[in-house]
Amino acid sequence: MSMSRSLELFFIDGKPDGMLTAEVFNWTGHVLVAPRTSISRALKRESAAYTGVYILLGEEGGEAVTYIGEGENISNRLRSHDANKDWWDKAILVTSTGNNLHKAHVQYLESRLVQKAYEVGFAKIENGNNPKLPSLSEADAANMESFLDYLYMVLPALRVDIFLSKTREIDPIVYQDFNSPIFELNIKKDGLLAKAIIDEGDFVVLAGSQCRYSWIGDTTTWSSYSKLHQKLVNTGVISKDLEKDGLGKFTSDYAFPSTSAAGAAITGRATSGPIAWRLEGTKKTYKEWEASNISK
């Protein structure tokens, strides 16, 4: 079980979409988040002149895009990117509170972050290739891995999901060890049969579940779900079923934030998850199952 931790956020502008800092008790890291509209003020802050790594986030052609870099004075690098890159709209500056990261440390962090972003496949990565890991002592490498563990916890809390893998490895033999029953979404006329469980607060569709390979629903109203479906196809989480025309299969267990998001990925269109998913082998909907558990 993961250890509970406390995250301290300071909203510099007094609003959730402005500049903010994030720190965790007993972690030496310091995170500064700044929208591009506030970048000039952000770069005047003391931590912006520290040695660290930075993450640029934005969108291009409807696709999430990121660039990950490092520098001994990251404000200088960001000024260059402000002049030469148009697509980004948010910057994440990661330093240490005592400015005790050195060049090899941040080169290590940059390389590992780029590698992780490629593995997750959430965004197009502008770096082009993965920077090589620098030579660090065993102790320093272990310290940087620990630093990354904290960073991977902090960033999703700041709605930065490019390093957050949603694939899971759940052994079918131990399904019964979960507190969640198995749910299924079964549309016989379309040949769809998917199964899912609840794991760590996520609704996890299990590997082997059948789904539509192409999105058939409205791409305007449900654009976020259609983009997610396409992302699952692009990253290989959904592969084409060569034996059944128009269908696909989940190649790995995948965690969704809601039953409706999971349902849309299965059916290829907007789906009311609480009603579509049913307790395996019964007619009891997820909504009814949830209500019965809340009332206990």
Tens of pLDDT, residue by residue over 117-142, are: 988 887 889 987 788 999 999 999 99
Q: What is the dihedral of CA 75, 118, 196, 264, to 10 degrees?
A: 80
Between 218 and 288, the higher pLDDT residue: 288
Compute the distance between CA of residue 92 and CA of residue 13 in angstroms, rounded to an integer.
16
Q: Band the pLDDT of 220: cuts 50, 70, 90.
A: low
The Cα–Cα gap between 211 and 241 comes to 9
d(CA 25, CA 218): 45
Name every residue whose Cβ is closer than 8 Å to that of residue 240 and which is 6 or more positions away in sequence: 213, 247, 248
The model's pTM is 0.75
The residue behind tokens 């390389």 is: 111
